Chain A
Amino acid sequence: MKVKGFLQDVTGASRVTKARLEAFASASTAPERIDPIGDVAKAWHPGKIDLVVTEIREASKTAKTIRFERPDGEKLPFFYAGQFISLDFEIGESVISRPYSISSAPFEARGEHPFVEITVRRSKGDGFICDYINDTLKVGDKMRGNMGLGQFYYEPLRDAKHVVALAGGVGITPFASMAKEIAHGTLDFDLTILYGSVSSDDIILKNELEALKSERIHIVHVLSGDEKDWKGERGFITAEIIKKYSAPDTTYFICGPQAMYTFMREELKKLAVPQRRVRFEVFGQAKDITKFAGYPTDVADKTFNMTVVRGISETVIPAKATESIAVALERAGIRIETACRSGECGFCRTKVLSGNFYVCPEGDGRREADKDFNYVHACAAYPTSDIKIKIPIE
């Protein structure tokens, strides 16, 4: 065996070792702490940031827009129009996090006077955080949030140049963000918003949307209520209406109440829209889990013992069969990190050590191997017996 010559060949190891030691000996002694790639990652995703409420204004007779800024007035993280912010609400002993689509535009988070806004409608009795925001939250309140989350945004390498947004009620918010960004010239597609409301009084962000209308941004209101002097589209947003406003190649973005999702799936099926041209926002927390296929209704009225393992400690708390594991934890004042509250994103990935559970089939975002080892997403998993779980220490 010969590469270059016996002596040179057999001294290879010494040669490379010498080269190494020489390289180190001549290296700088100044610690280099810069990680510019990590810094860009942090600019987009800094994690939890401090926020302060700086403005609250009416978005309709039943909804309010809340503006947040950083306490130091600094720029907010980058995000894509359509994404949501997860806000932490400290209520009593509990910290409860909820996702809200951002209704302001990405450029507004990075401007001279940076801010981010959400628009929230008063609930019909089933959303106490929505009511808290509408009734209790005030200018000057401080909270924490994690923003730039979710997959509901325009992806130029996937989506058509013409987008039809199908919005219902407060589901208008991500499209308000997109429309503002298009008007600002920093997002490049034509947007037609088909916006379903009950009555013209219910239309959220009406004036803001009106001001955005342009060659690229069309807003079509569709009223389902019986409003006498209404001249626009009426009824639900049906296949017929959708077709009327579609281009030959259109991507549909859908955001609204859960009932609307079921309806829209059928309407889009009638139009034979390929799956890749349809983007649904996450489903949200199931309103009534007992209505889903396979839910063991015989335990629906039960409250179980849930043993919560954090590190080497264990706590036992009550957990209702009809409330998600995340809700049980929040009620007991145990912190769990959640984001989408729909079972999709996996922020609240939790190990079930023992006991039975039911996972909401809508938007089940678990990995296959996770299913094999009884990992659940706590926001979409329900105890159906006494149960023992392990969650991260927060």
Chain B
Amino acid sequence: MKFYKDHYDVIVIGGALAGLSSALMLADKGKDVLVLERHNLPGGIATSFVRGGIEIEAALHEMMSIGEKNNRLKVGKFLDDMGVDIEWLKVPEAYHASFPGVEVTLHPGFETFAKEVDAVVPGTYDKVLAVLSLCHTVFDSVNELSIHPMSKPMMLLKHEAFVKTAGYSTKEVLDTFHLPKEALDLLAPYWIYVGTGFSELPFTIFAVLMADYIGYGSYIPKKLSHEMSLKMAERAEAMGVQIEYRQHVEKILVKDGKVYGVRTARGDEIHADYVISAAYPNKVYTSMIEPLSEVPEKAIKMVNGRRLSLSAFSVIMILDKPAEELGIKDYSIFRGESADTDKHYRDLKGLGPYRYITCICHNLGNPGVTPEGTCSFSITTLPRVDGWKTVKAEDYDRVKHEVAKDLIDYMSEYYGVNLLDYVLEIVIETPMTIAHYTGMWNGCIYGYAHTMEDHIVARLQTAEEEHFIDGLEFAGAHQISGDGMGPAVTNGRKAAKNVLDAMARKEAAK
């Protein structure tokens, strides 16, 4: 029996947000696309699961780059344009920040946010607004330059702030504003969404993050992230994309420096001119390319020269009391022993105790998401893969429970109730869980760390020369835009654009 066509224009390995975005964009241009996904549903970690009859969000905290219905940002607009009709709910606040001596809920909107910070640290309104304005200017430049590249002198003329801050870390730029520490602390919480401390994090990344989230707020799909993943997959299929689940691609076939197909664990050899891989370059270049002799040394040096970023550790609980009765008041809470991002980033290298965490109470952004009288509460930290790499299979369950217990105790102390007394369902997600369901390299969900040696501006500059095998593109957190579900869509579109450009070049050469 024949399950595949003799040939496809493009094979996409991985049916999560990046791969599906690639597929949508290519199908929109009339290309013949096959998506192979190893799991039996789309989305990767943008998914949900059911326990005891209750559907539970697996990973999504909040989506950036969506925007209001009539004023969409790039991800929201792309999904609208592709006909992916998601029921978005706006997250009510930016976040509740909880650090020693500080308890404040901040809301999106630059003025609102600056006013709320000023109420906690008087006299900072103008400076905080100035930081956010600078962020917004850089954000606009990044968005425009990603569509219309221009010469360096022209860039300096038209995108001065972007150019002048590109070579600096977040700390270096923020220092020029001379904000009191207490105010800086309130600007810090989202750092965990990009995953490096401020002395290493490029300011460009911080600027985009803050402008997007604080400027425009964040969104979640009403029927959890599975709604988003499934609607993208369904739309892609309606546009003619063939999606096959439970198909694990083991090899990417290359001859004379050019991709010609893939082989699955089932043994199917499927041919295409282009392959877009959501599998990490680390895995592709060290074990998936067949033959491995087709992998140039430069590709190995590239993956070895980069630092893997963060994985995730989440304790997700369904509690048998409504949020209000437990004292939970906010959808999103960031809590830490301090707002020292560099220290926390160092601590993420170990196995805990993790003292910088992000909690979500889903019901407060999505009323009715769990049955009456219950609420869904998750505690997440995003450890680096280093510590978890040392955990042996026989110790895994013990370590997982110790870390989970510590995080639950940390938040129980915060609310003054023992959360363990209310647990109806509990699921502990670890880097291993992620590796199991998605096959992501070392369970890493953030791709490569955003650092001054792996800067988004440099990633853009050198993209061409880091393209080692003809016809092979990558889509996922390991690509230019980095981690996050919004950037996943952008990374997927970029891979599709590279394929379309290559096709056009070939067509022109004929």
Contacts and interface: CB of A to CB of B under 8 A. Distances in A.
Nearest to B404: A157
Interface stretch (A194-202, A258-266, A290-298, A310-318): A310-318
A37 B282 contact: no
Given A276-B424, A392-B40, A28 B304 contact: yes
Nearest to B48: A367
A392 B393 CA distance: 30
User: Of residues A35, A37, A78, A157, which shows the largest number of chain B Cβ atoms within 10 Å of its Cβ?
Assistant: A37
B286 A31 contact: yes
Interface in B427-459: 428, 431-433, 435-436, 439, 441-443, 452-455, 457-459
A10 B3 contact: no
Contact of A38 (B48, B297, B442): B442
Given A13-B461, A19-B458, A33-B286, A41 B436 contact: yes
B299 to A, nearest CB: 9
A264 to B, nearest CB: 16
B304 A38 contact: no
A368 interface: yes
Contacts of B78: none
Contacts of B391: 37, 40
B244 A17 contact: no
Interface in B455-485: 455, 457-459, 461-462
Contacts of A368: 55, 223-224, 226-227
Contacts of B230: 367, 369-370, 373
Nearest to B233: A373
Contacts of A337: 40, 246
Given A27-B305, A369-B230, A1 B161 contact: yes
A16 B394 contact: no
A26 interface: yes
B245 interface: yes
Interface stretch (A95-103, A176-184, A209-217, A344-352): A344-352
Contact of A20 (B408, B428, B454): B454
Nearest to B160: A1
Interface in B29-45: 40-41
Interface in B356-408: 385, 388-394, 396-397, 401, 404-405, 408
B4 interface: yes
B435 A394 contact: no
B41 A157 contact: no
Contact of A23 (B4, B160, B453): B453
Interface in B246-301: 246-247, 266, 268, 282-283, 285-287, 292, 295, 297-298, 300-301
Contacts of B172: 3-4
A33 B281 CA distance: 11
Contacts of A234: none
B231 interface: yes
A8 interface: yes
Contact of A44 (B1, B49, B396): B396
Contacts of B247: 392-393
Given A16-B167, A158-B423, A310 B452 contact: no
B458 A17 contact: yes
Contacts of A142: none
A394 B246 CA distance: 8
Contacts of A158: 420, 423-426
B422 interface: yes
Interface residues of A, number: 71
A370 B396 CA distance: 32
Contacts of B165: 3, 9, 12
Contacts of B3: 310-313, 393
Interface string B202-228: 100000000000000000000110110
B302 interface: yes
A342 to B, nearest CB: 12
A92 interface: no
User: Which of under 10, 10 to 19, 20 to 34, or 35 or more describes the interface residues of B?
Assistant: 35 or more
A157 B426 contact: yes
Nearest to A363: B53
A310 to B, nearest CB: 6
A274 B396 contact: no
B441 A35 contact: yes
Contacts of B266: 393-394
B181 interface: no
B393 A13 contact: no
A72 interface: no
Contact of B167 (A8, A28, A157): A8
A2 interface: yes
Contacts of B424: 158, 275-276
A274 B52 CA distance: 14
A21 interface: yes
Given A156-B401, A347-B40, A274 B173 contact: no
B50 A38 contact: no
A346 B246 CA distance: 13
Contacts of A313: 1-3
Contacts of B320: 274-276
A331 interface: no
A27 B286 CA distance: 15
Given A158-B423, A346-B50, A393-B244, A12 B439 contact: no
Nearest to B167: A12
A138 interface: no
Interface in A51-94: 78
A29 B405 CA distance: 41
Contacts of A392: 40, 244-247
A29 B292 CA distance: 14
Contacts of A1: 160-161, 164
B284 to A, nearest CB: 11
A37 B313 CA distance: 13
A37 B301 contact: no
B156 interface: yes
B436 A29 contact: no
A20 B428 CA distance: 37
Contact of A37 (B432, B452, B454): B432
A15 interface: yes
Given A12-B164, A393-B246, 4 more contacts: A16-B202, A32-B303, A40-B393, A157-B408
Interface of A: 1-4, 8-13, 15-17, 19-33, 35-45, 78, 110, 151, 155-158, 274-276, 310-313, 315, 337, 344, 346-347, 349, 364-370, 372-373, 392-394
The 6 closest A-B pairs by CB, nearest first: A12-B167, A311-B3, A27-B305, A43-B393, A392-B246, A16-B455
